[in-house]
Structure 1
Amino acid sequence: MPVVQNLDVRLLAETPDALSLIYAAFRQCYHAGFVGDMWPKLLSGEISQDKQAEFIEKVMQSGHDSPIEHVSFTFAISGVSRALTHQLVRHRIASYSQQSQRYVDAGGFGYIMPPAIAGIPEAKEVFESFMAHAEETYGKLQELLAHRGKKSNEDARFVLPNAAGSKIVVTMNCRSLIHFFELRCCMRAQWEIRALADLMLKECRMALPVVFAVAGAKCERLRYCPENAAFTCGKYPLLGQ
């Protein structure tokens, strides 16, 4: 029953011709003609990508960002806990496909150990003891429910901890991703999901910099902390200070 050491985030897919698609969507809002006729020019390079990016950046700076919803990114994620995925799936404008504890045998499950626990020998010992007990209990329940065949997993899983490792595929559109990054890249976000958000943001910035260059914690864009004095991390001044 190993400690899961490595968070792994891989960008599986993104909407093809993402830059041109966003440009076309933005242009249709302000263009008297039909962007369907413009599309071949975008793909051929007749309207350069630099020009497309410049237009997108300018319009987004005005606060108009709904057209970026037409582009989405799909990530494969492993090395995360069930505690993290319970937070992740609360971002509702997204699609999720998670490894099932009902159908996948969790015997010998890997688990995530919080750094704060790992750094205190006594806490680490208590934590590891509980993980071993959870694994043992899971196995005993599987044996007692063996007459149910593979269905034994669906009831034995009730004793699995939030620390149990999981794998998940996530698809979000660009607007949802920006909102996700604003909340989860913040220093007040829980450490595990913040690490995930940072890696996802890195992939997005490489794939579509015009949209994600200034994405991240909300304070990075605003240059002030939107929290109140009781919750600020102190990295940026509060509004009005």
Structure 2
Amino acid sequence: MESSVRVKLLTFTPTPDDVVAAAARLCYSPSTAEDLVVEFREGKRQSGLFIRKLINSGHLSPLEHASFTFAVDGISRACSHQLVRHRIASYSQQSQRYVSMDEARYILPDSVKVDARALSIFKEAIRYAHEAYKSLVESGIPLEDARYLLPNAWETRIVVTMNARELHHFFSLRLCKRAQWEIRRLAKLMLTEVRGVAGGIFDIAGPSCITKGKCEEVNPCGEPYGSMEELLN
């Protein structure tokens, strides 16, 4: 069965914009952090504008005080391998050692989907691998060994926690058009989720063509994004 990516923001630092702004303001204020948070929450100070100046100045450490936890379903093992390379994060992934893969659930690339011959080959390979996997399990082979037959296309589930600074870094790399389509799709859904609760922190986020107005890739794609709206559509 073909799967598709789903992202749900499970939990996050309450009023993350205000917390980040207060933490940064504390560096230059005699006030307590608690008082500063109240000022931002009550609107006596504008956290969004302050955070924009903060990011533009390169003072990014206060962003680490806000964290976000996501439930991610319907991505491939190929995608999760790319995801967990972002090491300033916490991950809990569904284990193929302990969870039996009774149903064939996989991610189907669009390039394969539109090619009838490729699609037939792909689905047959998935079917054969899954049948072989089930045969090994039925023969008494441990799940941890039978899983060696499962392909990179296999669906996985993972819980991800990142702080806002790492998310900015993640978005700068994985929303770039040079990133692979699947993790780019995942990053877009994650950005949409956090923008709903931390609009100040993530008002502008993504590859350098968005955040800096110019591409900083060694080998540019040649088709930079023109706006946040274009990136999110």
TM over 0.5: yes
Please give the per-residue CA displacement for 1:181-233, whole angstroms capped at 9, x wherever unaligned: 000000000000000001111111121111111101221112111123xx211
Query: d(CA) in 1 for partners of 2:101 and 2:116?
Result: 27
Query: d(CA) in 2 for partners of 1:38 and 1:80?
Result: 40
Alignment of 1:181-220 (within 5 A): 181-220=171-210
Query: d(CA) in 2 for partners of 1:35 and 1:3?
Result: 49
| TM-score normalised according to structure 2 size | 0.91
Q: Judging by fraction of residues, say which structure has more helix.
A: 1
Secondary structure (helix, strand or coil) at the match of 1:92 reads coil
Please give the per-residue CA displacement for 1:86-122, whole angstroms capped at 9, x wherever unaligned: 0000000001111111111102220011111111111
Name 1:24's counterpart in structure 2. Answer: 22
Name 2:231's counterpart in structure 1. Answer: none
Unaligned regions of 5+ residues in structure 1, if any?
147-151
Query: d(CA) in 2 for partners of 1:9 and 1:169?
Result: 10
Give the conservation status (yes or no) of the 8 Å contact 1:107–1:138: no
Name 1:70's counterpart in structure 2. Answer: 65
Name 1:149's counterpart in structure 2. Answer: none
Q: Which runs of 4+ in 1 moved over 3 A?
A: 36-43
Alignment of 1:1-241 (within 5 A): 2-4=1-3, 6-43=4-41, 45=42, 48=43, 51-145=46-140, 152-228=142-218, 231-236=219-224
* Larger relative contact order, structure 1 or 2 (CA cutoff 8 Å, min sep 6): 2
Name 2:230's counterpart in structure 1. Answer: none
Secondary structure (helix, strand or coil) at the match of 1:105 reads coil
Q: CA RMSD in A?
A: 1.7
Q: Rg bigger for which structure? A: 1
| TM-score normalised according to structure 1 size | 0.88
How far did residue 41 of structure 1 move?
4.6
Identical residues among aligned pairs (%): 46
Distance 1:73-1:103 versus aligned 2 partners, 3 A rule: same
Give the conservation status (yes or no) of the 8 Å contact 1:182–1:215: yes
Query: d(CA) in 2 for partners of 1:134 and 1:49?
Result: 61
Query: d(CA) in 1 for partners of 2:224 and 2:133?
Result: 47
Q: For residue 105 of structure 2, what is the amino acid of its counterpart?
A: G
